[in-house]
Amino acid sequence: MQNNCRQFITILILILIPLQISCSKEVDSLYISRHYIKHEFRIKMRDGIKLFTAVYTPTDTSKNYPILMVRTPYTVAPYGENNYPSNFEVPDEMVGEGYIFVFQDVRGSFMSEGQFINMRPYIPGKKTKNDVDESSDTYDTIDWLVKNIHHNNGRVGMWGISYPGFYAAMGTIDAHPALKAVSPEAPIANWFIGDDMHHNGAFSLMMDFDFFSNFGRARDSLTINWPEPLDYASPDAYNFFLDLGPLPDVNNNYFHHNIAFWDSTINHPDYDYYWKAKNNLPHFNNIKPAVMIVGGWYDAEDLYGPLHIYQSIESKNPGAANYLVMGPWFHGGWMRSEGDSLGDISFGSRTSEFFQQKMFIPFFRYYLKGEGSFNQPEAYIFQVGTNKWKSYSSWPPAEVKDEQIYLDKNHSLSFSKPLSGDESYDEYLSDPMKPVPYTNKQLDSRGFYNKNYMIEDQRFASERPDVLVYETEVLKEDLTISGPIQANLYVSTSGTDADWVVKIIDEFPSDASDPLNNPNKIEMGNYQELVRGEIMRGRYYKSFEDPQPFEQEKVTSVGFDLQDIDHTFLKGHKIMIQVQSSWFPFFDRNPQTFVKNIYKAGQKDFKKAVNRIYHSAAYPSSLHIKVSH
């Protein structure tokens, strides 16, 4: 049990809590204890609930400092006014120049009172002191801090990655006047459509199981400790989750209805009031602080949130100081990796250090201290392929051209609409007992997920008979796709339900050079670099609110969004598209038999099905892309 606990905490630290790696000063707990004084407070909210808050104030009291705050459900440890952390989770240069650093356990977590609610819904038009949400808790905290913490300059900033990024984003709504700058990084926006828990209605099985098996356990009282993790025999993830069986067996054999959020998910399989209330995108109105949203192109958890929160603020607040930064990073990689490579792919420079020095530090220094300048473009985007930072006046770029890339006969791709007859299609047998793996890497089932999978070589998948492969001719010139991608498929199935996975891939030429530093002996010739992939739960082809069965063998239009990219397919490469019906165990298996609540499907409902993809003049399956010239 002790080993399991240590393993879970290690995973949580690596995956969910931002770590600092790029340093300009030697910062550790001794340095912090010598240069900062720590105080712990229980700050009363408007409804009387008290939130535990750790405040670190510079020992140099000859000047005033701005406040930089992180609100988190992942603990503000170490607790105790004589215990200091090894870092403040920011570039060490900022620790040296001085801020008042504040860390708060959000309502209902660890040492804060109240009830914890995942993605607590925003309450517009609050009428009583009991109408509380993350926006009001942020406002009340800031109000107390600027009135009670000595030597503050009256300016407050917020930031955070992942869940703390969500809390930072919510702080911009109905913001306190002292809140001047906010950087939501990998923030959550919608847990049914695109972030973490679901993608287009498909359930993120492995991540949800691993995360909520510990994080989802209710505390008995205020605590400084994580709960004991779930103890179970743990083979490789693919076989563990396959042997797990239908989702009802999770409670029968593991959770025993002790994980409230898991039960809520099972009882709300569709996009109903429960999930809609947690969607924060409608609420980013009248945003006053400067906002810099940060995301990673290869963030398997929260890629949807940064892109869509940026768009929500942009559309509702013309003229607002609203910036978007997207780099070649996994979840939080801009603060816990050098960002020079991911998996087998090199990006040619230390992109994380560039972000920290050119964007993160200057953003807060300018808006909180009034020092220097922040003359960044509205969208500062790393373009993969050319491996260059690009400046755009908007995102998507205004200069892109809408085009369609069509699936065609002989497993080809074309920029011209197909001319084939109605019966031009390809088919495959989809077997839920032999689902297509999302990665070629074998991981322990408690290992969360392979953080490199969103850029992984797809040759392992293209060899399977249940994966359809289409590709262009060799490109005669560079082609850059900048912006969102929409899949428009014409499909049929012999079953009554199906999932559809579309992957866009950069296929290298056969004579591509291998990396200079190549300990894994990777052969880059014909390498199939995943650029973007997404899954669609087919039952929602009409509406996420009202699932419908497929009529067997009937050609049906299924459309869904893939997330944005900024990727250059270089001259001599090919564009490849793969289509399949499972991506396991990152996403759960579709039984391929329509049942009203898919999460309560039994073993008898899991059946093989023949799925078809059409590519004819009448049924032109395609991807809508934005091409930059």
Q: What is the pLDDT of residue 373?
A: 95
Would residue 195 count as lying in a domain?
no
What are the structure tokens assigned to 152, written together? 């503050």
Residues whose CB is less than 8 angstroms from the CB of residue 250 and which lie 6 or more positions away in sequence, other chains included: 209, 244, 262
Would residue 295 count as lying in a domain?
yes
One domain, residues 381 and 492: no
DSSP class per residue in 255-298:
ITT-BHHHHHHHH--SS-HHHHHH--GGG--S--SEEEEEEETT
**Domain end (from 261, 277, 293):** 277
Question: Per mean pLDDT, which range of 13-27, 234-248, 384-398, 566-580 is the poorest?
Answer: 13-27
The pLDDT-based confidence of 19 (bands split at 50, 70, 90) is very low
Q: Please write the tens of the pLDDT for every residue from 37-80.
A: 999 999 999 999 999 999 999 999 999 999 999 999 999 999 99
Q: Does residue 3 register a pLDDT over 80?
A: no
One domain, residues 419 and 500: yes
Would residue 266 count as lying in a domain?
yes
Question: Per mean pLDDT, which range of 280-284, 350-354, 521-525, 608-612 is the poorest?
Answer: 521-525
One domain, residues 269 and 331: no
CATH number of the CATH domain containing 235 = 1.10.3020
Whose CA is closest to 537, among 601, 482, 476?
A: 601
Q: Please write the tens of the pLDDT for every residue from 195-237.
A: 999 999 999 999 999 999 999 999 989 999 999 888 888 789 9
**Domain end (from 250, 277, 304):** 277
One domain, residues 345 and 432: no
Q: Please write the tens of the pLDDT for every residue from 241-251.
A: 999 999 999 99
Instruction: Tally the domains of the chain.
Output: 3
One domain, residues 588 and 610: yes
Would residue 144 count as lying in a domain?
yes
Q: Please write the tens of the pLDDT for every residue from 422-436.
A: 789 999 999 999 999
Q: What is the pLDDT of residue 629?
A: 66
Residues 214 and 525: their CA atoms lie apart, in Å, by 42
Helix-helix angle 260-267:205-215, to 10 degrees: 140
One domain, residues 59 and 102: yes
Q: Does residue 15 register a pLDDT over 50?
A: no
Q: Does residue 119 register a pLDDT over 80?
A: yes
Would residue 199 count as lying in a domain?
no
Q: What is the pLDDT of residue 447?
A: 82
Residue that wins the pLDDT comparison between 314 and 19 = 314
Would you say the pTM of this structure is higher than 0.75?
yes
Would residue 502 count as lying in a domain?
yes
Would residue 467 count as lying in a domain?
yes
Instruction: List phi, psi (to 5°) of 584.
Output: -105, 150
Residue that wins the pLDDT comparison between 3 and 112 = 112
One domain, residues 468 and 612: yes
One domain, residues 375 and 469: no
Domain that holds residue 149: 2-15+27-189+280-392
One domain, residues 446 and 500: yes
Q: Does residue 21 register a pLDDT over 60?
A: no
Q: Please write the tens of the pLDDT for every residue from 373-411.
A: 999 999 999 999 999 999 999 999 999 999 999 999 999
Whose CA is closest to 578, among 481, 482, 507?
A: 507
* H or E segment to which residue 387 belongs: none
**For all residues of the chain together, what is the average pLDDT?**
94
**Domain end (from 247, 277, 307):** 277
The pLDDT-based confidence of 420 (bands split at 50, 70, 90) is confident
CATH number of the CATH domain containing 614 = 2.60.120.260
One domain, residues 504 and 596: yes
One domain, residues 82 and 8: yes
One domain, residues 271 and 303: no
